[in-house]
Structure 1
Amino acid sequence: MEIDFSIGSMPAKLRRGWLLGGMKLVTPGESVWLQHPLQLSTHFSSHLDRSWQHTVAGHEVFVKNSRPLLVAGIRPHNYQVFVDGELVAGARGV
């Protein structure tokens, strides 16, 4: 799954691999793992809501993920991307 958005005037993408669950924040200048596929916390968590924060070019990027309670690995999750506290993108997907 990919979510396209802008950080100021810079294009950015949030990429999540459905198979291993890794999530990256990708901009023209950098690529940052928000959720690495080799970390156990990527695959085993009792929390329904997760969030990640990263600073890019002086802007705060905040990503929120909400998952369903039952059979979360095969059901769609809700993703929201905030830049400097403002919702700039959202998606629903696995």
Structure 2
Amino acid sequence: MEHNLKDSIKAFLKANNLEEKLMEVRIKACWEKLMGNGITQHTTSIVLRNGKLYLTFDSAALKQELTYSKSKVIEMMNKDLGEEAVNEIIIR
């Protein structure tokens, strides 16, 4: 029964194009957890589209720092999420 419910929920999310939105909510929570309050305060936008995570910051220094850490951030986020949800990070 549990397996059928899980499959039904996944099918509903997919049919209503909600899978990516749900993952985006999970990613926002993951971002706050992994990056902490300091970085989260300067993050003005987090958007997931087709495996690409678009991040916008209000700090040029933070943009520069995260540009050099993209692969590490992707690895940390995917590990925390338990799946390969983020393939690329684009900083704006």
**Higher RCO (CA-CA < 8 Å; seq separation 6+):** 2
TM-score, reference length from structure 1 = 0.29
TM-score, reference length from structure 2 = 0.29
Highest CA radius of gyration, 1 or 2?
Answer: 2
Which is helix-richer, 1 or 2? 2
Which is strand-richer, 1 or 2? 1
